[in-house]
């Protein structure tokens, strides 16, 4: 009996370490593990060298609707749907971790800075589970994109097919273009 509880605790600690290394906030750790708050704080400090960040978790679905976050959220959610559908034996958090790792690999492969944090990815899944978000199919590319629940679906065009006028005009993009002109 004692061996099973030790094994279970080791699994919880391993999961907490993995989540902390991926940037999880304390509230996510508390929700997904059975470890005490004090133990999680100590573990966080040991791994990161600093106290966990304070403050509330994201609580609005609106962040996921803006142009770049919507594209990244939709990519992550597509990966997550595939992972969850093909490995139903694992708890949701394991599918989220696997999906998030693939999302990070995809972003790195294409030289993009990841927009989605693990905490936002976890929150996104919870919003879908609670019925606050859904996916809409783009009428042009047929891709599935994150949208508010009960939003009109007819004629939906995604942010990739019809980017906003300021898309890609961030400070970083401007600095990269300027650096390209100077180097040339």
Q: Which of 165, 162, 130, 166 is nearest to 149 (CA)?
A: 130
Q: Which of 84, 95, 77, 87 is nearest to 32 (CA)?
A: 95
Which residues are within 8 A (CB) of 3 and not within 5 positions of it... i.e. 6 or more apart? none
- Binding residue positions for Zn(2+): 138, 141, 158, 161
Which residues are within 8 A (CB) of 100 and not within 5 positions of it... i.e. 6 or more apart? 22, 76, 116, 118, 121
Cα–Cα distance between 116 and 173 in angstroms, integer? 18
- Binding residue positions: 138, 141, 158, 161
- Where do the DSSP E strands lie in 42-161? 133-137, 144-148
């Amino acid at each position: 009996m004692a061996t099973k509880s030790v094994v279970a605790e080791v699994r919880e600690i391993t999961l907490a370490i993995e989540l902390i290394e991926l940037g999880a906030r304390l509230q996510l750790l508390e929700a997904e593990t059975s470890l005490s708050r004090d133990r999680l704080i100590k573990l966080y400090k040991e791994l990161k060298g600093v106290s966990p960040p304070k403050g509330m978790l994201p609580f609005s679905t609106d962040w996921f609707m803006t142009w770049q976050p919507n594209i990244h959220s939709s990519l992550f959610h597509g990966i997550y749907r595939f992972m969850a559908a093909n490995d139903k034996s694992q708890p949701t958090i394991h599918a989220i971790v696997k999906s998030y790792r693939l999302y990070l690999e995809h972003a790195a492969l294409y030289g993009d800075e990841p927009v989605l944090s693990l905490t936002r990815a976890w929150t996104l899944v919870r919003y879908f589970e609670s019925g606050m978000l859904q996916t809409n199919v783009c009428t042009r590319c047929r891709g599935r994109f994150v949208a508010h629940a009960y939003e009109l679906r007819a004629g939906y065009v995604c942010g990739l097919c019809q980017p906003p006028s300021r898309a890609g005009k961030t400070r970083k993009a401007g600095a990269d273009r300027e650096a390209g002109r100077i180097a040339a």
